[in-house]
Amino acid sequence: KAMQRKVSNAPHEAHLLEKNPVEWQPHSTSCDVCITSFRGVKRKKTMLNSQLSKKLRVIAGHTRKIRCIRKVKQLNNKSLMKKISNCKQIHLSTKILAIDYPVDFVKSISCQICEHILADPVETTCKHLFCRVCILKCLKVMGSYCPSCRYPCFPTDLVSPVKSFLSILNNLVLRCPIKGCHEEVFLEKYCQHRSNHKGA
């Protein structure tokens, strides 16, 4: 089979067919070769605005559900940690603070597990503060990671906070919760004050 062709003025714009000679023509949008090659491929239609906005609403709703589930898990996790620490009888509530401190300050002097005033505070490598007893119990039961941010944490990583923080903590003013005693005492002298009540 002999192949024949005519060369047009435009270079590289040609197609070859067997049998019949083909006249070469410049490429155009109605090119037979291009049209036949694209017939088999279906192009995705551009999504209508209404469909797109509906899809975005569905995605946003799904994201909200995930956030709610995470929040519930965090709350469940927090209540579980409180049960593990079980320190209600030995640690002091922030409710006995004599001064109405700002909320952020109260959080900074509270254990992130039991939410009581820090007792024998320790700091993790990720800079979170806990009562020593609470964090050790949680590490033993829940695994070696920080209960606040899940950063790897081991009992050997725990260190005492800086002295300036301990000084602020020890100078917190507490109101004695014993009935009939409304005395205000510093945190560092609170245990001694309570022992006086037991002796009386």
In order of 43, 44, 45, 67, 105, the CA distances from 54 in angstroms are 22, 18, 16, 20, 44
Opening angle at CA 29, ends 12 and 42, nearest 5: 110
pLDDT score recorded for residue 10: 47
pLDDT score recorded for residue 130: 92
At the top level of CATH, which class does the domain 78-170 belong to?
A: alpha beta
In tens digits, the chain (200 residues) has pLDDT values of 444 444 444 444 444 545 566 666 676 666 666 665 555 555 555 545 666 666 777 777 667 766 655 554 554 466 666 666 666 677 888 888 888 889 999 999 998 888 889 989 999 999 999 999 888 888 888 888 888 888 898 999 899 999 999 999 999 998 888 888 878 889 888 888 888 877 55
User: Could you tell me if 150 and 127 are in contact, meaning their C-beta atoms sit under 8 angstroms apart?
Assistant: no
pLDDT score recorded for residue 13: 47
Strands 173-175 and 184-186: antiparallel
The position carrying tokens 């088999």 is: 40
- Of the candidates 69, 72, 77, the residue with the CA atom closest to the CA atom of residue 149: 77
pLDDT score recorded for residue 33: 62
Domain ranges of the chain: 78-170
pLDDT score recorded for residue 75: 44
